[in-house]
Amino acid sequence: MNPKSLISITDFTKEEYLKIMRLAEDFEANPNQKLLQGKVIATLFFEPSTRTRLSFETAINRLGGKIIGFSDSSSSSVSKGETLHDTIRMVSNYADMIIMRHPMEGSARYASEVSGVPVINAGDGANQHPSQTLLDMYSIIKTQGSLDNVNLFLVGDLKYGRTVHSLLMAMLQFDNPIFNFIAPPELAMPNEYKIHLTSKGIRYYEHAEFTDIINAADIIYMTRVQKERFIDPVEYEKVKNVYILRNEMLKNTKENMRILHPLPRINEIHTDVDSNPKAYYFTQAKNGVFTRMAIIAHLLNLK
């Protein structure tokens, strides 16, 4: 049997989510715990991703582990035509865990079948990026005190945005979530998710804009509306300014409401929001390190 890996957010149970939250809190309080002493972790980035790679590598360093790997496939044997199968078989003989990002969807699931050591999916194309979801959840529990009864505003590209889909699926494990979807019709939440919510009796509301309703939010999760998603550039021009969050919109929002964003941001959060204490996206990125320490420790049974 293959060792426990984290490929999709649904690979973990509710108990495991809560364990990751507890461990992340513990690592945040004591960030230098040398649990990975003597262990080698491979970070295989077949496509570049500075933020995610540095976050994982910081987590490994804080845990006292050693890192091998590459940060883009041109510096690996992939450029000589090696298959993913062979790369993973080889590296799993060297390292105690593989953390990988790959442009092909399903590549991480396949790697977890081939590998003899745990695999963490750090993004497989547009499919899954579960450590992002867990750090989003950690940011929610830290700021709201609970993952139950959260009124979540998901804003921007809800059609293609993998982070919003994974967050939605994970939050379904908790009591009484409310979802508000704010997106242009071209980028609306796909029907399969709405059908899923309806079948579970979970409330969701759809809006074309959010200025009038923003005060109900506990969490505003902003995503980027990308021009290249629109077939008709005129449609993009019409909506591009509708999904921009500005400081003046936050005046009457809840005291402990927090703004999340998976980053990088382009213009969807105006820079005048950055100094507002409700802006949480940079702390959210920092939470990523503790969450990733927690995921590594959990999968290697170190905690």
Q: Which is nearer to other proteins, 38 or 81 (CB)?
A: 81
Cβ 103 to other proteins shortest distance, Å: 7
Cβ 175 to other proteins shortest distance, Å: 26
Q: Which is nearer to other proteins, 83 or 256 (CB)?
A: 83
Q: Which is nearer to other proteins, 48 or 103 (CB)?
A: 103
Cβ 110 to other proteins shortest distance, Å: 5
Cβ 182 to other proteins shortest distance, Å: 25
Q: Which residues bind other proteins (CB under 8 A)?
A: 8, 83-85, 102-107, 109-110, 124-128, 192
Between CA 243 and CA 156 the distance in angstroms is 6
Q: Are 27 and 140 in contact (CB under 8 A)?
A: no
Query: What does DSSP assign to residue 279?
Result: B
Dihedral angle computed from the Cα positions of residues 292, 296, 297 and 301, in that order, rounded to the nearest 10 degrees: 150
Q: Which is nearer to other proteins, 103 or 145 (CB)?
A: 103
Kindly state the tokens that stand for 274: 């950055």
Cβ 109 to other proteins shortest distance, Å: 5
Q: Which is nearer to other proteins, 126 or 213 (CB)?
A: 126
Q: Are 269 and 260 in contact (CB under 8 A)?
A: no
10 Å CB burial of residue 55 (0-12, 13-18, 19+) is buried
Query: What does DSSP assign to residue 185?
Result: G
Give which of 113, 192, 134, 117 is closest to 159, Cα–Cα: 192
Q: Helix or strand or coil: residue 100?
A: strand
Cβ 104 to other proteins shortest distance, Å: 4
End-to-end Cα separation, the chain, in angstroms: 22
Residues 6+ positions from 198 with CB-CB distance below 8 Å: none
Q: Which is nearer to other proteins, 64 or 125 (CB)?
A: 125
